[in-house]
Amino acid sequence: MNHYDSVDFSSLLALAQDEVVTHSYVSDVTLTSGKVLALVTLDNDLDYKRPNTLGPKSLLELDEVLKNQAGRAARGEIHAVGVTGKQFILAAGADLSRVREISSVELAQQMSQLGHRALGRLSKLGVPSFAFVNGLALGGGLEVALNATYRTVDTSAAALALPEVFLGLIPGWGGATILPRLIGLPKAISVVIENPLRNNKTMSAHDALKLGIVDVAFGPARFLEQSLEWADAVLTGQLRVRRNSPSALSRVFTWPVIARVARKAIASKIGEVPLSPYAALRTMTAAARGSIDDGFLREDAELARLISGDQFQASMYAFSLVQKHAKKPTGAPDKKLAQPVTKVGIIGAGLMARQFALLFLRRLRVPVVLTDIDQSRLDEAVTYIHRELEKLSGKGRISRDELNRLSALVSGTTDIAQFADADWIIEAVFEELKVKQDVFARVESVASPDAVFATNTSSLSVAEIGQKLRKPERLVGFHFFNPVAVMPLIEVVNAPRTSDVALATAMDIASKLKKTAVITSDSPGFVVNRLLAMLLGEAMHAVDEGTDFEVVDHALDAFGLPMSAFELLDLVGLKVGAHVLDTHHAAFPDRFFDSPNLHALAAENVLLIKDRNGKKRGFDPRAREIVSGGKNRQTGDQLLERVQVGLAREIQLMLDEKVVHSVEDIDLCMIMGAGWPFQMGGITPYLDRVGASLKANNKNFHNPPIRGVS
């Protein structure tokens, strides 16, 4: 018996009426030794596109099945229990499809308790349990395995991970307790906290084996057969499983210190706003002492708090944006209109042009021609691209054959006639209207009549750039974020005259480049730069008016952004920053600030004092000198509210002006283009929950607001 048996789960079950149930099928396998292993297969009876998930009904079925096996074990009918999944998938974790309907802390806690009740049985069967991790095992799926006595893994398993922290949770079905005791706290921190924070990195079977999460790995062709053979050897005592788990003594003595160091490292990376990493660290560290069951109780308490809180709801919203909304861009024309692209022309030979060339080569694998007025610059660019490709080959990212193929596809020429058969021509020249207008007009004289033109402008009007074109409808905005290879967002700018063909082609290319595309109108700053300009403009304005750098820099700590305002300015460059503020001020003088001080700082190129690793240590005294003299200081709280309300007001205006089609597009842009955190849900769930939306617009962006039950 376990203490979860007395919990009444009926209200939780009521939420699960339409759950896609993962069944627990049982079949007895007689092993070579004659011992009988009851093999449980988790299977929702759907194909691999709908992985097994564990909702309340699924968990209760598993619970019942395992309870029966415990009875059979007691009667001596079976000698072991195995758990495996349907083809390619053990389980992708808890079924989170209805978590927005969790209406109380108690119900939130039950999600944790039910998991413990079912999965916890794997260690209380009276006979050993074996998890045969035959494929994808995420979150609760991997926790099924962790609760078992022994684990084997298929070397071809797509991914193993405990991504809960990424979503604002902790692995609370035993993961946060069992894992550190199994592999030690430092490794558990890397799996439970660091991986989720590194773009939700997952583990391979090999990684899991090396970390000691699984006992042994077998190839896919006979994974289950070899696992059963191995289980038999363990059961008969022919084989002793050796593990490197920390002793109770070492846990108690070393973990508090390890946890303190880890806490500092996490705080310096992501600040202290997100709750889940610290909850995970706290729970794992506490597992140093006491029983596994004690740990389960701690997990219950933490999960109840997190599931019912604001950050998790915002994270779920953000996750769904990234997973689902991003794949169905709103306002996109019929995909069939997209023109095939068999050759790419790039105007320019600078850093941006080279980055474009590399990306287009790797993703489209078609000829890429760069053009510039200076052949030696072009030669340099092609040499640079060749070298970058060789680096990729050296790292094993592309094969030797692929290297040869891609290297042969890129060329640089001053002869613009080479663009005659390019279907997609993108410019990466100096951000000046006349330069862009002229270069496109010149290219149009040789380009094929159907070629689509794209501009990477971040601050100019796409319509104006196209003014000198005979066919301005062929021009579309295609705004990358730096670094091009890494940042996942492209703002595709649908200018008033942009044709559906050009727009569809741009969307098609963005998807082939494996980028998330959001369609925006042809308006200053599009989405990301407009909101960043609002934030930076307010920050610089506060400085201009005499507020200390430190006060301004910490005023927005409550957001939990990846970097502070001045770190961001430092990253994009003070000159560029000043230019961005100027353009937005020029477009919207009543709402956006420009900053004379920022120009002065840019002229001297002073702002931060940084250490050897480029980390901010403070502000340059010369910078303080330059900005001194303001007489209208703000407090941090005043600035925070100004920024919150300013953002809320601006976003509402953007929606009214139809810069994008929906508020979801805005949040998606801020997550993908600016790295704004899941716990804010991008930005609007946060603005709703702090009351800024009401103050600015007399209404919330989301109804009901995306927040916890508190």
Partner 1 sequence: MLLGNRVVFVDGVRTPFGRAGEKGAYWQTRADDLVVKAIQGLLARHSNLDPALIDEVAIAAASQTGDQGIVLGRTASILAGLPLTVPGYAIDRWCAGAMTAVTTIAGGIAAGGYDLALAGGVEHMGHHPIGSGFDPNPRFVSEKLVDPGALNMGETAERLHDRFPRLTKERADAFAVRSQEKVASAYAAGQIQADLVPVAYKAAEGWSQLSTDEHPRPGTTMEALRDLKTPFRPHGRVTAGNASPLTDGATISMLASEERARELDLPAKMRMVSFAFAGVEPEVMGIGPIPSTEKALKRAGLSLSDIGLIEINEAFAVQVLSFVDHFELDDEDPRINVYGGAIALGHPLASSGVRLMIQLARQFEERPDIRYGITTMCVGLGQGATVIWENPHWSAK
Residues that bind partner 1 (CB under 8 A): 25-30, 32, 39-41, 43, 84, 86-87, 219, 221-225, 228-229
Distance in Å from the first CA to the final CA of the chain:
32
Q: How far is the CB of 637 from partner 1 (least distance, A)?
A: 59
Q: Which is nearer to partner 1, 229 or 464 (CB)?
A: 229
The CA–CA distances, whole Å, from 573 to 157, 599, 601 equal 44, 11, 11
The crossing angle, in degrees rounded to 10, of helices 596-604 and 574-587 is: 160
Q: How far is the CB of 516 from partner 1 (least distance, A)?
A: 36
Q: What tokens does 302 get?
A: 């933490």
Q: How far is the CB of 140 from partner 1 (least distance, A)?
A: 19
Q: Which is nearer to partner 1, 25 or 430 (CB)?
A: 25
Where does residue 363 rank: exposed (0-12), middle (13-18), buried (19+ CB within 10 A)?
A: middle
Q: Which is nearer to partner 1, 28 or 625 (CB)?
A: 28
Placement of tokens 């439970």 in the chain: 192
Q: Are 11 and 110 in contact (CB under 8 A)?
A: yes
DSSP secondary structure string for all residues of 194-226: IHHHTTT--B-HHHHHHHTSSSEEE-STTHHHH
Q: How far is the CB of 56 from partner 1 (least distance, A)?
A: 21
Q: Which is nearer to partner 1, 1 or 221 (CB)?
A: 221
Q: Which is nearer to partner 1, 222 or 264 (CB)?
A: 222
Q: How far is the CB of 30 from partner 1 (least distance, A)?
A: 7
Q: Which is nearer to partner 1, 151 or 474 (CB)?
A: 151
List, in order, residues 6 or more apart from 495 with CB less than 8 Å away.
461, 462, 463, 466, 472, 475, 476, 477, 522
Q: How far is the CB of 68 from partner 1 (least distance, A)?
A: 14
Where does residue 351 rank: exposed (0-12), middle (13-18), buried (19+ CB within 10 A)?
A: middle
Give the sheet arrangement for strand 89-91, strand by strand.
89-91, 136-138, 160-161
Q: Which is nearer to partner 1, 32 or 383 (CB)?
A: 32
In degrees and rounded to multiples of 5, residue 54 shows phi and psi of: -115, 100
Q: How far is the CB of 490 from partner 1 (least distance, A)?
A: 39
The count of other CB atoms within 10 Å of the CB of residue 548 is 17
Q: What tokens does 423 get?
A: 């279907």
Q: Which is nearer to partner 1, 137 or 601 (CB)?
A: 137
DSSP secondary structure string for all residues of 575-632: HHHHHHHHHHHHHSTTT----HHHHHHHHHT--EEE-TTS-EEEE-HHHHHHHTT---
Q: Are 464 and 433 in contact (CB under 8 A)?
A: yes
What residue spans of 330-432 are helical by DSSP H? Answer: 351-364, 375-394, 400-409
CA dist 162 and 283 (Å) reads 14
Q: How far is the CB of 173 from partner 1 (least distance, A)?
A: 22
Q: Which is nearer to partner 1, 27 or 632 (CB)?
A: 27
Q: Which is nearer to partner 1, 32 or 103 (CB)?
A: 32
List, in order, residues 6 or more apart from 225 with CB less than 8 Å away.
none
Q: Which is nearer to partner 1, 20 or 29 (CB)?
A: 29
Q: Are 350 and 373 in contact (CB under 8 A)?
A: no
Q: How far is the CB of 235 from partner 1 (least distance, A)?
A: 15
Q: Which is nearer to partner 1, 232 or 302 (CB)?
A: 232
Q: Which is nearer to partner 1, 37 or 552 (CB)?
A: 37
Q: How far is the CB of 31 from partner 1 (least distance, A)?
A: 9
3-state secondary structure 383-399: HHHHHHHHHHHHCCCCC
Q: Which is nearer to partner 1, 42 or 680 (CB)?
A: 42
CA dist 298 and 290 (Å) reads 11
Q: Are 369 and 448 in contact (CB under 8 A)?
A: no
Q: How far is the CB of 25 from partner 1 (least distance, A)?
A: 3
Q: Which is nearer to partner 1, 224 or 489 (CB)?
A: 224
Where does residue 400 rank: exposed (0-12), middle (13-18), buried (19+ CB within 10 A)?
A: exposed
Q: How far is the CB of 132 from partner 1 (least distance, A)?
A: 8
Closest CA relative to residue 388, chosen from 358, 414, 365, 418? 358
> At 411, is the secondary structure helix, strand, or coil?
strand
Own/partner pairs, 388-397, CB within 8 angstroms, 24+ separation: 388/354, 388/358, 389/358, 389/361, 392/362
CA dist 9 and 111 (Å) reads 9
Q: How far is the CB of 139 from partner 1 (least distance, A)?
A: 22
Q: How far is the CB of 192 from partner 1 (least distance, A)?
A: 29
Q: What tokens does 421 get?
A: 């058969």
Q: How far is the CB of 232 from partner 1 (least distance, A)?
A: 10
Q: How far is the CB of 155 from partner 1 (least distance, A)?
A: 10
List, in order, residues 6 or more apart from 378 with CB less than 8 Å away.
349, 370, 371, 372, 412, 413, 414
Q: How far is the CB of 86 from partner 1 (least distance, A)?
A: 8
CA dist 638 and 642 (Å) reads 6
Q: Which is nearer to partner 1, 219 or 614 (CB)?
A: 219
List, in order, residues 6 or more apart from 273 with CB less than 8 Å away.
557, 558, 559, 560, 677, 679
- What are residue 490's DSSP bridge partners? 480, 517
Q: Which is nearer to partner 1, 47 or 272 (CB)?
A: 47
Placement of tokens 């205006």 in the chain: 653
